[in-house]
Structure 1
Amino acid sequence: MARLTGTLGQVGDLFIITLEGFRRTWDVRSWFWEFVHQCWFLTRVTSVPVLLVSLPLGATVALQVGDLAWQLGAQSATGSAVFTGTVREVAPMASALLIAGAGGSAMTSDIGARHIRDELAAMEAMAVNPIHRLVTPRLWAASTVAVLLVPLVILAAAGGGYFFNVIVQGTTPGAYFDGATRLLSLSDLLVTLFKAWIFGFVAAMVSCSMGMKCDTSPAGVGRAVNKATVVTFLLVFTLNYVISTIYFLAYPPRAY
């Protein structure tokens, strides 16, 4: 019972911090430069890893699907599989997981270190709301960068798939890129960007909340970083399933 009460309390703190961060969103001048700083930091720590993850991922999908398609005599379907899987599922998930793993852990450790040094309490003593000053820009920065990472994931995965499917397996470039327009629609891209925005926001929300509520010790900060990463991953996978299910029910895939 005590564990359940503690969990519900943490969920309540999470939503309170998030709503309080939203409350002063309109006052852009108070957090704009921190937002720019966080965007630059997240871009710097996630852009190269997302390319390194997406290239072999696209190549692996192209290699496995290409072998199966070759046996079935449908080599041109490889491009469709790579683009469809990347745009609908891989791109938002890859951007969100890197935001949570690289950027979110840094957010948790930074805010947690401020917490154990009583910097948050000092800000409150100076009539500065630490949530408005620290959490609000991080929420918007993480969601913005997550959306901007989506094109990088798509291009990198498409490049890796192109190498194996066209150069190694001999499929024509026209047949490979035909999949980008045959099975995909504008709604697929819009939903992908929406999912990336939501996932980035969730990553920052959990990371900031864990940092502000961590135990006042270095070990407490370390546990908060680990907990924030695990919770973010679970929430992202759950939300991805829910959003994808609703989308496919509302817009069934086109048959060819």
Structure 2
Amino acid sequence: MTSSNPIVAGSSTALREVGKLFALGLDVVRNLFKRPFQLRELIEQLWFIASVSILPSALISLAFGAVISLQLGSLLRQIGAPSVAGATSVLANVQQAAPIICALLIAGAGGTAICADLGARTIREEISALEVLGISPVQRLVVPRVLASAVVAVLLNGLISIVGVAGGYFYNVVLQHGTPGAYLAGFSQLAQPADLVIGAIKAVFFGVTAGLVAAYRGLNPPSGPKGVGDAVNQSVVISFLLVFLINVALTGIYLTLVPPKGM
């Protein structure tokens, strides 16, 4: 018996979509180790996603580093703790800002291209043709794109972290007349290798999420002439929501399992 309640119907539809997304994720994991591996497709996707993401990543990381350093520097001077400005600025960039920036750019630049490409193939029935020929679209098209998103996300995370830390140092030391020695000393006293590790782990999760959502919406676009465009918009919104939810979960787990380093 079908429920006439629109809230219940909408909830069941959302749960069904979530289940299909998880099923696609399991298919990607299963096909990741199947031969032949699409190395050429992977290299092409790596180059494309990196080419559209590197410059925006560097520019946005400078802006984020400036905002974090200026705000934290002003606040810490008010409470009489300017010596920890370096630690708070660097940790905020490495743990939070860099992975988030990376995820937004992967989803906004690379994810939209992945969704549009797969969506166009779907409405032209190329995906159905592959299935008729006995070729797995997941292995042939989805796996290289999801893997490329994860790899580029990790590399971009390192770039964004370096640029953000350098920008934070410039704004804190040069513009706010901070002490370089205190800035670096505060970072070495509070930071630890686990901070870099959690940033890289977040980048992997965010890259996989962005690539998987884009691939799913591209393989299942809404019907009609606007289907591909609507699928692209939906993939960006869904990716952003999932990225922030995953970030909250990973941050909570990290703060629970890894004790903070004392002064």
The residue aligned with 2:33 is: 26
- The alpha carbon displacement at 1:60 in A equals 1.4
Tell me the distance in 1 between the aligned counterparts of 2:154 and 2:206.
9
Q: Is the 8 A contact 2:103 2:153 kept in 1?
A: yes
Mapping for residues 13-162 of structure 1, pairs under 5 Å: 13-27=20-34, 29-162=36-169
Distance 1:123 1:182, change over 3 A: same
C-alpha separation in 2, matches of 1:182 and 1:32: 43
Q: Which runs of 4+ in 1 moved over 6 A?
A: none
Match of 1:30, SS state, is: coil
Q: Percent identity?
A: 41
Distance in 2, matches of 1:17 and 1:62, equals 41
Q: Is the 8 A contact 1:115 1:216 kept in 2?
A: no
Please tell me the root mean square deviation across aligned C-alpha atoms, in Å. 1.5
Kindly provide the CA deviation profile for residues 208-234 of structure 1, in whole angstroms up to 9, marking residues without a partner as x. Answer: 001101124341111111111111111
Query: Structure 2: which amino acid aligns with 1:200?
Result: G
Give per-residue Cα distances to partners, 1:63-97, cap 9 Å, x unaligned: 12222233344333221111010111111111111
Q: Provide the secondary structure at the position in 2 that maps to 1:76.
A: helix
Equivalent in 161, 169, 172 of residue 176 of structure 2: 169
Tell me the matched-pair count.
256
User: Contact 1:116/1:217 (CA < 8 Å) preserved in 2?
Assistant: no
Residue 221 of structure 2 corresponds to: 214
Name structure 1 gaps, 5 residues minimum.
Answer: none
Separation in structure 2 between the aligned mates of residue 218 and residue 47 of structure 1, nearest angstrom: 32
Contact (CA 8 Å) 2:189, 2:262: kept in 1 or not? no
Alignment-mate amino acid for residue 9 of structure 2: A
Residue in 1 aligned with 2:257?
250
Scaled by the length of structure 2, the TM-score of the pair is: 0.92
